[in-house]
Structure 1
Amino acid sequence: MAPPERLDRYPPDLSDEQLYSLVTEIKDWQINHGSLLKVIDTEIEHTVLSHPVGVACFPTLFPRARFSQALDVQEIYNRLYCSVGEDEAWIFNAIRDLIPAEPLADVLWKIHQAAKKSGSVQDISMGIFRSDYMLHLSDEDLDSVPSSKALPETTLKQVEFNSFSCSGGSHANKVANMHHYLTQMGAYNVDDSSFDVESLPANKNIESIASGLALAHRTYGEPRSKLAKQTAVLFIVQPYNFNIADERPIEYALWNREEPVPTYRLDWGPKLLQYTRLTENRELLFQPPWLLSKDPIEISVVYLRAGYEAKEYNPTGYEARLQLEKSAAIKCPSILGHISTFKKIQQALTLPGALEHFLSKSDAAALRETFVPIYPLDKTDAGLYARELVRDKEHSVGYILKPSLEGGGNNVYGEEIPGFLASVPESQWSKYILMKQIDPPMSSNILMSSAGIDSGDVVSELGVLGCCLWKANPSDGGCDMLHNSVAGWTFKTKHADIDEMSVVKGYGCFGTPRLVDI
C-alpha cells in the first residue's frame, strides 16, 4: 500500500519532465473535450480559433464540512429567491433607490411594469441559480495559520447570489471530469504517495441543468396554438459569443435525452423580433428561415443567456425582452427573477427580519450563518454608517465596493474606495453596496491559462448551482415549489494577489475541490 500523502506539502514539487507531462495531458484533454473559449472573428471557411479555458493543474484543497454545508443550504436559497421573485412590493422597496441611479435596474423595472399592464398568461417560472462562497478565517487566525495543518479552521461566507444567466456550469463539469481522469491515470501519484479519487466530488452540472429545462418543457405541455405542431426550448444568447462551450453542451444534452427536447438558440436583438412573434393568446412562436418547415414552433421555455447590460436594452432590445416577458413561455428567469440578482437584493436580505419574511426561523438562521456584513450607500442610517466607514483610506481597508453589474472586473477594493467615490456624483452612490471583505486561507497550486503557467499561493471560490420550478400563489403572495434541487457546483481558483475571479475574463481558473477533513 502506498504511504499516505503529506497534505501540508501539497501539491508536490514537480520536475521539469513531470510538469511537461502533466501540462501535455491537460492540453490534450481540453482539446478533446471542448474545454475551450472561442476566439471571435477568426472563422475562415472550415477554420476557427479557440484556446483552452484557464484551469488549475491540481485539485485544490477544500474542507469537506464546508463543501457539504454549501450543498445543504442550496435548496433553502432556491426557495428564498423563488419567493423573492414573486414579491413585487418587497423587491421595489429594496431597489427603489437603485432605479434612478442604475440604468439596468431602471429599464428592467419599466419592462416589468409594461408586462404587468398586459396581464400574466404564465404563472410558472424557472430558476437556474448559483450561490458563490469563499472560506473565511476568523480574526485570530488571520496572522498565524498552524503549520501542522493543510487547512485552518474556517467558516463559509457568501460572496454573491446569481439568479440570471449563471455561467460556468459546463466548464466546471468538464474540468471536474478532467481532474478525475488525471487522478485515475496516476498523474498525481508523485514519489509513490497515494491520491484518493474519492476525495474529488462528482459533478453533473450539464445533465442537471438540462434535466431542469426538460422538466419545465414538459410542464408547459403540448402546443396551445393551432398554428404550431411542436414545442421547444429557446436559448437567447449574445451575438458573437465566445463562451459557446459553456452553453452548447446543455443544448446537446437536451437533444440527446431519451425523449429529446427540441432546443434552439437565437441571438439577442433584432433577430429575436424578426423570428419570433406572439399570437393573440400570447403563445410565443419561433420561425427562422434556416428551418425549412412551414409550421412555426411554439416556445415552451425561454432560457436567457443575454441581456446583462443596460446597453443591450436599446429600443429593439427593450421590445424584444418585453415580448418575451409578455409571452406564455416559461421564463428562466422572469424579469423580477432577473432583478433579484442585483447586489442590492443581497444587501436587503441581510437586514433584520428580511429572511424571516420568506423563510422559517431555522432556515433563516442556516442562511444567515453564510452572511457577511453588507451596507447600502444611501441616506438611511445604515447607508450613512457605511459612508463613514469609507470616508478615508484607513477606514476603508477590509471592505469592497460593488455595483449591480455582472461579469467581474467592476469592484473597488479597500483604500481605493474613497478616491473612487470622490469621482462619482453622490446621486449615484446608491447603485453600490459596501461589503465586508472575506479573508480566505491560502492554498498552493499551479494555474494554467492564456497568461501562462505559474505556481504559488491561491484562493478559491465555490459556487453551488440550483434548479427550481415554481408556481405563483396569489392567495398568499408566495409560490408553490414544483421542483427544487441542487444541480452541481463550480470551483474557481485565482492567484492570491489578484482581486477578481472571473475565468472568462482571465482572472481565475476552473478547478476541482479536493475534499479533506480538518
Structure 2
Amino acid sequence: MDHSPITLPRLHNYHEIHENQLQNIVYDALVFATLNGLLVGDKSDQRSGRVAGVGLVHLPFSLLPPPLPQTYWKQASDLAPLFNQLVDRVSFDGFFLQQSLSKTKKADEFTSRLLDIHSKMLQINKKEDIRLGLFRSDYMLDEKTKSLLQVEMNTISTSFSGVGCVITELHSCSFFRNILSHYGKLLGLDSQRVPVNNATTQYAEALAKAWSEYNNPSAAIIIVVQAEERNMYDQHFVSAILRERYHITTIRKTLAEINQEGEILPDGTLSVDGQAIAIVYFRAGYTPVDYPSESEWSARLLIEQSSAIKCPSISYHLVGTKKIQQELAKPNVLERFFENKDDIAKLRKCFAGLWSLEDLDIVQKAIEKPELFVMKPQREGGGNNIYGDDLRETLIKLQKAGSQEDAAYILMQRIFPANTEAILMRNGILHKDRVISEFGIFSTYLRNKDKVIINNESGYMVRTKPSLSDEGGVLPGFGVIDSVYLT
C-alpha cells in the first residue's frame, strides 16, 4: 500500500479575492442563510430555545466547501445500506447487547438504565414488527493511510438533516452559479461537484412510509424534544414536509410531558393528551441531561411498552453506543451478523482501531503516546471526548483506582485528516483558518416484519473545525456546518 500522505487540491485561492469582493460574498451568504433557515437560537437569549422566532442567529458555517476525492465519497455512500443492516441485525441479538454492555452497565448509570428497559422488553418478549431507523455514519479521511475511517455510528437523534440541505444549497446552485458567478474562474469552482443533498426529504419520506405501515390515519408523529432546544429549526424542516406533502400531524413533547399526558390503551396504542401516536421520533433522550428525574425514565419505558413505532427503539439506541462499536470491530464479530465476505470486508475496511481499557498493552501505549488516541465515554452530543494530557492523566487515575469505572470508556485510534484553508462564518464575522472536516452520511431503514421497505443512503452533512481543535460539535461552538466539494 502506498502510505505517502494525501495531498488535497487547493480549491480556493482566497488571497486573490479583493477584500471588497470578499465582503460582498460574505454579505450575500449571510442573507441567503437567514432567508433559507440556516438558523439556531442565540444562547445569549434565554428564550431562544423555548419560543420559536426569538433570538435567532445564523448557524456557524463555512463559506466554501472542503475538498474530498470522489472515490472516498462513493465508499461512504455505498456503506450506508450495510451499516443499516448491521444495526438491525445486532438489535435482534439481545444476548449480544446485554453481554457486551454488562461491564459498562456497572460503570455507567445512564447505559445501565437503558439496559434495564431493554431487559424488560426481552422478558416480555416485546416484538417490534415495524422497525424504523434514521441513522448517520460519520467518517474522516486519514492522511497517512489514505483510508476513510468511521468515527462513529449515530442511531438516535441524528441532527442537521435539515440545515445540512440548506448549506448544500448555499454552496451549490444558488451560491456558486449566481453569487459566485463573477469569481468562478478566480476560485476554480464548479457547482456540479457539490453532490445533491436530499436528507430532509428522505427522512420525511421514511417517516411517512412508516406512518402508513402503522395504518392508523388519525395517528400523529410525536417528536421527543428537549425542554430548551436551540436547534429546533433543523427539526422543523422535516415536520414541515410531513405536514405539507404527506398531511401528517407532528406534535412536540418532552419526555416529562409524555409521562404526564401519556397512556397505553388496551390495544397497545400510545395516546398522548388524547392523541393516538403512530411514531415516536426521538430528537432528545440520548444524554443523561434529558432524564433529570424518574418521570423521564417512566416515559421512556411507557414508549417502549406501547405499539408505537420507535425511532429508534431501545435496541437500536444501544447498538449506537461506543462500546458496541468497539465490540463490532473485534476479530470474527461481524461474522456473527453477516455471511457475505465482501460485505464484511467493506465494513471492516472503514473501522479505526478500537479497544477496551482491558487491553493493558494498548492502555500503556496510550499513556506513552496520548496524541495517537482518543478516549470516548458512552455519551452522545459532542464535547465529551478526552485527548492529550487529559487522556494520559485519566488512564493513570483509572489504573490506580483499580475500579470498574474504566468500562465506561473505550480507546480509539486518533484519525489525522489533511487540513485545508477555509473561511468560517460565526456571528456574522469572517474567520480564516486551517481546518479539518468530518463527513456524515445519513441513511434510512424501514422494515415491517420480514419485508425491507427502505434501505438507502439518504443525504449528508459535514462538520468542519479548526485543525487545532479537538472537538468538532457545531452547537457547542467547536465547528461549523459545511458541505463537500468532490475532486
TM over 0.5: yes
Q: Aligned pair count?
A: 469
Matched to 1:31, the amino acid is: T
- The equivalent of 2:387 in structure 1 is 413
Matched, 1:249 2:237: yes
CA distance in 1, matches of 2:118, 2:421: 47
Shift of 1:418: 1.7
| Code of the aligned partner of 1:414 | G
- Map 1:237-386 onto structure 2 (within 5 A): 237-257=225-245, 259-269=246-256, 271-287=257-273, 296-313=274-291, 314-359=293-338, 360-378=340-358, 383-386=359-362
- CA separation of 1:252 and 1:47: change in aligned 2, threshold 3 A: closer
Q: What is the alpha-carbon distance in structure 2 between the residues aligned to residue 507 and residue 45 of structure 1?
A: 25
What secondary structure does 1:464 align onto?
strand
In structure 2, C-alpha distance between the alignment counterparts of 1:462 and 1:45, rounded to whole Å: 31
Residue 139 (structure 2) aligns with: 133
For 1:261 and 1:324, how far apart are their aligned partners in 2? 20
Is 1:79–1:481's contact at 8 Å kept on the other side of the alignment? no
Tell me how far apart the structure 1 counterparts of residues 67 and 301 of structure 2 sit (CA, whole Å): 45
Q: What is the Cα deviation at residue 298 of structure 1?
A: 1.6
Equivalent position to 2:453, from 454, 460, 482: 482
CA shift digits 1:470-513 (9 cap, x unpaired): 245xxxxxx65332111110111111111111111111111111
Structure number, greater radius of gyration? 1
Q: Aligned pair 1:397/2:371, yes or no?
A: yes
The within-5 A match list for 1:496-515 is 496-515=467-486
Partner secondary structure for residue 431 of structure 2: strand
In 2, Cα distance between equivalents of 1:108 and 1:308: 10
Question: Do the aligned residues in 2 keep the contact of 1:130 with 1:466 (CA within 8 Å)?
Answer: yes
Q: What do residues 96-127 of structure 1 show as CA deviations (whole Å, max 9, x unaligned)?
A: 11111111110001112233444425422111
User: Which position in structure 1 is the counterpart of 2:153?
Assistant: 161
Which consecutive residues of structure 2, in runs of 5 or more, have no partner in the other structure? 1-7
Counterpart CA distance in 2 for 1:49 and 1:305 is: 21
Report the 3-state secondary structure (helix = DSSP H, G, I; strand = E; otherwise coil) of the residue aligned with 2:406: helix
Q: Whole-Å Cα distance in 1 between the matches of residues 414 and 233 of structure 2?
A: 32
Aligned 8 A contact 1:132 1:161 in 2: yes
CA–CA distance in structure 2, aligned partners of residues 338 and 7 of structure 1? 38
Deviation track 1:62-102 (CA, whole Å, cap 9, x = no partner) reads: 11111111001110111011111111011112111111111
- C-alpha contact 1:121 1:327 (8 A) present in aligned 2: no
Shift of 1:8: 3.0
Q: Judging changes above 3 Å, is the alpha-carbon distance between structure 1 residues 46 and 64 closer, same or farther for their aligned structure 2 residues? A: closer
Separation in 1, partners of 2:337, 2:83: 11
- Comparing 107-116 with 17-26, which one deviates more in the overlay? 107-116
Aligned residue type for 2:171: H
1:277–1:214 Cα change, 3 Å: same
Q: Within 2, Cα distance between the matches of 1:125 and 1:309?
A: 22
Give the one of 189, 192, 202 matched to 1:195. Answer: 189
In the alignment, the residues of structure 2 paired with residue 451 and residue 340 of structure 1 have an alpha-carbon distance, to the nearest angstrom, of 39
Q: Which secondary structure does the structure 2 equivalent of 1:203 belong to?
A: coil
Residue 132 of structure 1, CA deviation: 0.2
Change (3 A) 1:431 1:21: same
- Asked whether 1:18 is paired with 2:31, we answer no
Aligned-residue RMSD, C-alpha: 2.1
SS at the partner of 1:99? Answer: helix
The structure-2 alpha-carbon separation of the partners of 1:95 and 1:471, relative to structure 1 and needing over 3 Å to count, comes to: farther
Cα distance between partner residues in 2 of 1:310 and 1:28: 37
Query: C-alpha separation between the residues in 1 aligned to 2:66 and 2:150?
Result: 19
**Structure 1 residue 311, shift from structure 2 partner:** 4.2
Letter of the 1:170 partner, please give it: G
| SS of equivalent to 1:298 | strand
Match of 1:293 in 2: none
Q: TM-score by structure 2 length?
A: 0.92
Between the aligned partners of 2:77 and 2:255, the Cα distance in structure 1 is 33
Counterparts of 1:25-36 in structure 2, within 5 Å, are 25-36=28-39
Q: 1:107 to 1:61 in 2, by over 3 A?
A: same
Q: Distance in 1 between matches of 2:279 and 2:168?
A: 29
Secondary structure of 1:98's counterpart equals helix
Give the helix-richer structure, 1 or 2. 2
Deviation digits for residues 238-261 of structure 1, max 9, x if unmatched?
Answer: 11211111101110110011x412
> Shift of residue 416 of structure 1?
2.9
Q: How far does residue 356 in structure 1 lie from its aligned partner after superposition?
A: 1.4
- Superposition misfits of 4+ residues, deviation over 4 angstroms: 43-47
Deviation at 1:414, TM superposition (A): 3.1
Q: Aligned to 1:74, which of 72, 80, 89? A: 80
**Matched residues in 2 for 1:97 and 1:428: separation?**
9
TM-score by length of 1: 0.86
Q: What corresponds to 2:4 in structure 1?
A: none
1:211 is aligned, of 202, 205, 214, to: 205
Q: Residue type matched to 2:47 in 1?
A: T
Q: Is the 8 A contact 2:287 2:381 kept in 1?
A: no
Distance 1:449 1:76, change over 3 A: same
Q: Hey, what's the Cα distance between the residues in 2 that align with 1:113 and 1:251?
A: 32
User: Gapped runs of 5+ residues in structure 1?
Assistant: 1-5, 140-153, 224-229, 288-295, 473-478
